[in-house]
Amino acid sequence: MNKQKSYEDVKEYVTRISIRNGWKLNSDKEQLDDLITGLQANFNRLGYYNCPCRDSQEDHQLDRDIICPCRYAEQDIKDYGYCYCTLYQQLDFDISRPLRMIPERRP
C-alpha cells in the first residue's frame, strides 16, 4: 500500500504544480480546502491523485487522463481561466467574475 498523504503533503504537491506551470491555486479558501481534501482522500484510497471532481474507474491506467493535473487542465485554463475543478487558475484570473461550467473534454 502507498504511503498515506496528509493535507499538507497534498497542499505542497498542488503548490509545486501551480508554480511549475505558471498558474495559481484557487484563492477561495473553502473551495481550495475542499479540493485538497478530495485529492487527499483519492490518493489515500487509490494511490494516485485522481481529480476530485471526476469519477474514478479505480484503475490507474484507465484514470491516467484525470490524474491531477489532468490532461485537460492546460487547455481549460487557456480557454476559461481555470481548470475543470477550479483548483488551478491563470495568474490574472479574477475570482469575482462568475464561473462557467467547463464542458467535459474527457471522451
Stretch 37-46: mean pLDDT: 97
For the chain, list the domains and their CATH numbers.
7-90 (3.90.460.10)
Q: What is the pLDDT of residue 107?
A: 85
Instruction: Give tens-digit pLDDT for 17-32.
Output: 999 999 999 999 999 9
Selection from 32, 34, 43 nearest residue 9 by Cα: 43
* Helices and strands, number each (H, E), in the chain: 3, 2
Instruction: Give tens-digit pLDDT for 76-96.
Output: 999 999 999 999 999 999 878
Q: Please give the Cα distance from 50 to 103 (Å, whole number).
A: 18
Q: Please give the Cα distance from 72 to 9 (Å, whole number).
A: 23
Mean pLDDT of the chain: 95
Q: What is the DSSP letter of 25?
A: E
Question: Is the CB of residue 49 less than 8 Å from the CB of residue 13?
Answer: yes
